[in-house]
């Protein structure tokens, strides 16, 4: 899998949020206040339990928005690590999820695509309120025509209903929708729905063993060259 040569002609480019537009690394520092010298592992467990809960809730048809999923996932992770922080410390750590900085290159990449004339949107598992707060905190507000939340589908990615939100919102066929994500499972889900996917592949990451064809790999330095209006 290599970076693409010719840009793909699309009507809109959608972006995943967490780990794609915003950097999750500061959660390590936030979690250090709850579990000294174990902040990094606790943050990783928090994120893993958050994703696990979103997938289980979707499979079991037990919807709850991402704010509740995120709170409950932190509680589970803390219990696994044997820590019981006071309510104030716990709430401060939860708020860190709303104040994440942009990933290196994300602001410039989004701006370049916007200046090229592409319509842009966020397509995230986050609740509508979480997405709005994160986009504003990361300095990305003003570039996106739509902030699409899994709230509207009452399911979480990689369920097809979430990707369909972009199809319904913009009226383009799936193959005319570009999608940027750093998460392999998200790249697989979007590609299975027919999107033109640019995967910001972390070092050593591999795609899940599911039938999906990713159009190409990218970095934030090359994302603006992956897509063109048309």
Superfamily of domain 8-23+100-229: HAD superfamily/HAD-like (3.40.50.1000)
Condensed to tens digits (0 to 9), the pLDDT of residues 168-179 reads: 999 999 999 999
Q: How far is CA 189 from CA 120, 132, 138, 229, in A?
A: 19, 23, 25, 23
Condensed to tens digits (0 to 9), the pLDDT of residues 16-72 reads: 999 999 999 999 999 999 999 999 999 999 999 999 999 999 999 999 999 999 999
pTM: 0.93
Nearest-5° angle of CA 207, CA 190, CA 208? 15
CATH of 26-98, one of 1.10.238.10, 3.30.70.3270, 1.10.10.10, 1.10.150.240: 1.10.150.240
188 and 207 in contact (C-beta within 8 Å)? yes
Q: Is the pLDDT of residue 227 over 80?
A: yes
Active site residues: 16
Domain limits of the chain? 8-23+100-229, 26-98
């Amino acid at each position: 899998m290599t970076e693409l040569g010719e840009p793909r002609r699309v009507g809109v480019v959608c972006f995943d949020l967490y780990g794609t537009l915003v950097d999750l690394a500061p959660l390590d520092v936030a979690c250090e206040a709850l579990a000294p010298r174990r902040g990094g592992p606790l943050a990783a467990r928090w994120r893993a339990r958050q994703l696990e809960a979103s997938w289980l809730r979707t499979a079991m048809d037990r919807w709850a928005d991402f704010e509740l999923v995120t709170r409950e996932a932190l509680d589970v992770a803390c219990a696994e690590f044997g820590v019981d922080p006071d309510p104030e410390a716990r709430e401060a750590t939860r708020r860190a999820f709303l104040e994440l900085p942009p990933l290196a290159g994300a602001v410039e990449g989004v701006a370049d695509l916007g200046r090229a004339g592409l319509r842009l949107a966020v397509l995230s598992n986050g609740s509508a309120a979480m997405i709005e707060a994160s986009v504003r905190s990361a300095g990305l507000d003003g570039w996106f025509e739509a902030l699409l939340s899994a709230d509207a589908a009452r399911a979480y990615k990689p369920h097809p209903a979430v990707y369909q939100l972009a199809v319904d919102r913009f009226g383009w066929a799936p193959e005319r929708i570009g999608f940027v994500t750093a998460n392999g499972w998200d790249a697989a889900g979007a590609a299975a729905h027919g999107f033109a996917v640019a995967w910001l592949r972390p070092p050593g990451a591999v795609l899940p063993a599911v039938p999906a064809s990713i159009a190409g790999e990218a970095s934030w330095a090359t994302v603006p060259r992956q897509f063109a209006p048309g």
